[in-house]
Structure formats: structure tokens, C-alpha cells
Amino acid sequence: MSSTIGPIVRLQVQRDALKVGEKGSRRYHIEPIITVAQLRVTPDGAVGLAPDGDILDAHHRDHPLHKNDDGVHGLSIGFTTHYTAMQQRFGPHVSVGAAGENLIVEAARRFTLADVERGLVVFDAAGVEKGRLTRVEIAHPCKAFTGFALRHETVPPDAFKQSMQFLDGGLRGFYCTWAGRPTVLEAGDVVATAGGK
């Protein structure tokens, strides 16, 4: 039995890499993140459907960045409550969607891997199942995203480590794989845990 989490409130794609610069001094920027009204999802990843043309997400298997050659994390999902926690700690610049997840779901609480590891189910507004998100994994925070959360300010190593630990455990989102036929997702579709707790 599934347990409802809430509606999708934001759909987005990454047009390009979010980390720029040379290794060891990379910076995270959110300019390549594009909000879309609809997202076509397949086991290969996501494509944003926009009026001026489709936008291939950077984690789609066909994207030239080759971020998902093995096909195990073509999609990502985050929750509004996680952004509330990040904003309370770091500030409003960690805006909803800044971590680059494809789906942002309105939620009443925070979620850990234990809550979502059985997978997630997406339903349309009428309650008809559209498909499932499987192979859920934690999207661990990188140094560049942690630096972005800290406004790229220099902080003591211990403070940086604590910030990275705070962002881990699923707070920065989860990677997953679409299981099912190609489907178009829209804001208002509802996400639930598979199997519930």
C-alpha cells in the first residue's frame, strides 16, 4: 500500500553542467537549471517540454555530457521541506530547485533513504498511476554545492565538513530511475511512497 507524499510543484532540467571551473576549484551555479511545464520521462532520463523546443536533461543517457552512461540515475527528486531546512541553515539563495532535481514534491516532512528506498509512485490528478521511480539512491552533496550553500565564503574546514554532512542523507535529494513506458509528468501529479510505511 502506497502512502501519499504530495503533489509535484516544480519540474526542471539541467541544460548543462552545474559545476564549472578546474578540478579542485570548481564552483556551483544554477544558471543551467530550466523550469518546464512538462517533463517527458523514460528509463533513459528526462526531457523538458518547452514552447521553444525540447531540452535534454544533463543526466539523460543521450546528453553529450555522459553523466548517466550506466542508466542508474537518469532522474532526481527533491522535497519542499528539504529546501526549507537548507534555507533555514544557509539562506534564501538555496532556492527551491537549486540542487537541480527534476521533480520537486510538496511534502509535510523530511525524507531519508529508508523512507523512499522501496521506490516512489507517480499518479495523475485523477489517481491513475503514471509510473514508478525505482533504484532510489542518495544524491550526496559535492564540495561545489556545499560551497554554493555557504555563498562561496571561506569557512574553517570543520564548518565546511559539518555543512556537507548536514546536506547529506537525502536532504540534497535522491537519484532514481523511471520504470515504465515513456510518460509526460506535469505539476499537480501526485507522488507516493511505494509500499508505504
Rounded-to-integer distance, Cα 50 and Cα 54, Å? 6
What residue spans of 3-72 are helical by DSSP H? none
What percentage of the chain has pLDDT greater than the value 90?
83
66-113 tens-digit pLDDT: 777 776 789 999 999 999 999 999 999 999 999 999 999 999 999 999
- Read off the pTM: 0.94
Directed axis angle between helix 157-167 and helix 80-90, to 10°? 160
Q: Would you state the cell numbers that stand for residue 67, as one nine-digit string?
A: 553523466
Q: Are 83 and 107 in contact (CB under 8 A)?
A: no
Query: φ and ψ at 166, to 5 degrees?
Result: -60, -40
Residue 24, number of CB atoms within 10 A of its CB: 6
33-57 tens-digit pLDDT: 999 999 999 999 999 998 889 999 9
Q: What is the mean pLDDT of the chain?
A: 93
The DSSP line for 92-151 is: TTS-TTTT--SEEE--SS---HHHHTT-EEEE-TTS-EEEEEEEEEE-PPPHHHHHHHTT
Q: Are 172 and 140 in contact (CB under 8 A)?
A: yes
CA pseudo-torsion sign 126, 129, 131, 137: positive
